[in-house]
Amino acid sequence: MTHPLSRDPEDALNPDRGNATGEVVRCDACPVLCRIRKGQAGACDRYANEDGRLVRLDPLLLLQRRIEGGGDVVPFLQPGKPWDGHLISASNTFVTGLGATTTYPDYKPAPFIVASKAEGVDVITVVTEGIFSYCGLKVKIDTDRYLGPEQSAVRAQGEQVGHVTTAEYGSQMLALGGVRHLTGGSKKEGNVACDTMLKLANREPVELSIDGGAAVLVQAGAAPTVNGETEVRMRVGCGSATIGIFAKQWFGHADEVIVVDDHITGVLTEHQAGRFLDMRPAGIRVRGRKSTPGRYFKVAEPGQGWGGTDITDPLSIIERIDPKTAWPGMRLLMVSTTGEDAEWFVLDAALKPVKAPMPEAVRTVVERIAENCEPALASVLFMGGAGGSLRAGVTENPVRLTHSVKDLITRVTCGGAPVYVWPGGGITVMVDVLRMPERSFGYVPTPALVLPIEFTLPAAAYRAMGGHADSAVSLDAVLRDGRWRADAWPAQNPWPVAPAK
Q: In order along the chain (501 residues), what is the average pLDDT of each group of 10 residues?
A: 34 48 80 88 86 86 76 46 52 91 83 90 93 95 93 97 94 96 94 97 98 97 96 94 97 98 96 97 96 95 92 96 97 96 97 97 97 96 90 93 95 97 95 97 92 96 95 90 89 82 56
Q: What is the pLDDT of residue 497?
A: 86
CA-closest candidate to residue 439, choices 220, 281, 255: 220
Q: What is the pLDDT of residue 68?
A: 59
Q: Which of 208, 234, 260 is the last residue of a domain?
A: 234
> Hey, which residues does 216 pair with through a beta bridge?
208, 226
CA-closest candidate to residue 490, choices 437, 441, 448: 437
Whether 323 and 359 map to the same domain: the answer is: yes
Q: What is the pLDDT of residue 499?
A: 57
Q: Please give the C-alpha separations between residue 362 and each of 56, 183, 191, 339, 419, in angstroms, as whole numbers.
A: 63, 56, 53, 12, 45
**Is there a domain that residue 434 lies in?**
no
Do 342 and 260 touch, CB atoms closer than 8 A? no
CA-closest candidate to residue 476, choices 78, 100, 116: 116
Whether 344 and 419 map to the same domain: the answer is: no
Element (H, E) at 381: strand 378-386
Do 46 and 29 touch, CB atoms closer than 8 A? yes
Whether 113 and 22 map to the same domain: the answer is: yes
Q: What is the pLDDT of residue 237?
A: 92
Whether 61 and 148 map to the same domain: the answer is: no
Cα-based torsion angle of the residue sequence 337, 339, 342, 347 in order, rounded to the nearest 10 degrees: 60
Whether 156 and 85 map to the same domain: the answer is: no
Cα-based torsion angle of the residue sequence 395, 396, 399, 401 in order, rounded to the nearest 10 degrees: -10
Q: Which of 338, 371, 404 is the last residue of a domain?
A: 371
Whether 246 and 364 map to the same domain: the answer is: yes
Show the CA angle centred on residue 302, arms to residues 298 and 303, nearest 5°: 150
Whether 128 and 146 map to the same domain: the answer is: no
Q: What's at 121, amino acid-wise?
A: V
- Between CA 445 and CA 194 the distance in angstroms is 9
- Between CA 358 and CA 364 the distance in angstroms is 10
Whether 186 and 254 map to the same domain: the answer is: no
Whether 191 and 116 map to the same domain: the answer is: no
Q: What is the pLDDT of residue 112?
A: 92
- Between CA 46 and CA 99 the distance in angstroms is 9
- At 461, phi and psi to the nearest 5? -65, -35
Whether 261 and 361 map to the same domain: the answer is: yes
**Is there a domain that residue 310 lies in?**
yes
Residue 478 Cα to chain centre, angstroms:
31
Q: What is the pLDDT of residue 242?
A: 97
Q: Please give the C-alpha separations between residue 369 and each of 172, 259, 292, in angstroms, as whole numbers.
A: 20, 11, 23
- pLDDT, one tens digit per residue, over 335-389 is 999 999 999 999 999 999 999 999 999 999 999 999 999 999 999 999 999 987 7
- Between CA 11 and CA 241 the distance in angstroms is 62
Q: Which of 210, 234, 258 is the last residue of a domain?
A: 234
Do 93 and 74 touch, CB atoms closer than 8 A? yes
Number of H helices, E strands in the chain: 9, 35
Please list, in sequence order, all residues whose beta carbon lies within 8 angstroms of the beta carbon of residue 31, skipping any fewer than 6 positions away. 104, 444, 446
**Is there a domain that residue 445 lies in?**
no
Q: What is the pLDDT of residue 10?
A: 42
**Is there a domain that residue 276 lies in?**
yes
Helix runs in 271-372, H state only: 272-276, 360-371
Whether 224 and 253 map to the same domain: the answer is: no
Q: Radius of gyration over alpha carbons of the chain, in Å?
A: 29
Whether 126 and 142 map to the same domain: the answer is: no
Share the mean pLDDT of the chain. Answer: 89
Could you tell me whether strands 135-142 and 121-132 are parallel, antiparallel, or unpaired per DSSP bridges?
unpaired
- Domain encompassing residue 152: 135-234
- Between CA 254 and CA 269 the distance in angstroms is 10
Q: What is the pLDDT of residue 66?
A: 77
For the chain, what is the domain count? 3
- Between CA 306 and CA 338 the distance in angstroms is 9
- At 453, phi and psi to the nearest 5? -145, 140
Please report the sign of the dihedral spanned by the C-alpha atoms of residue 49, residue 55, residue 56, residue 62: negative
**Is there a domain that residue 81 lies in?**
yes
Do 483 and 164 touch, CB atoms closer than 8 A? no
Q: What is the pLDDT of residue 500?
A: 57
CA-closest candidate to residue 485, choices 111, 37, 33, 96: 96
Q: What is the pLDDT of residue 44?
A: 83
Show the CA angle centred on residue 99, arms to residues 93 and 104, nearest 5°: 120
**Is there a domain that residue 111 lies in?**
yes
**Is there a domain that residue 501 lies in?**
no
3-state secondary structure of 325: coil
**Is there a domain that residue 42 lies in?**
yes
Q: What is the pLDDT of residue 402?
A: 95
Do 77 and 486 touch, CB atoms closer than 8 A? yes
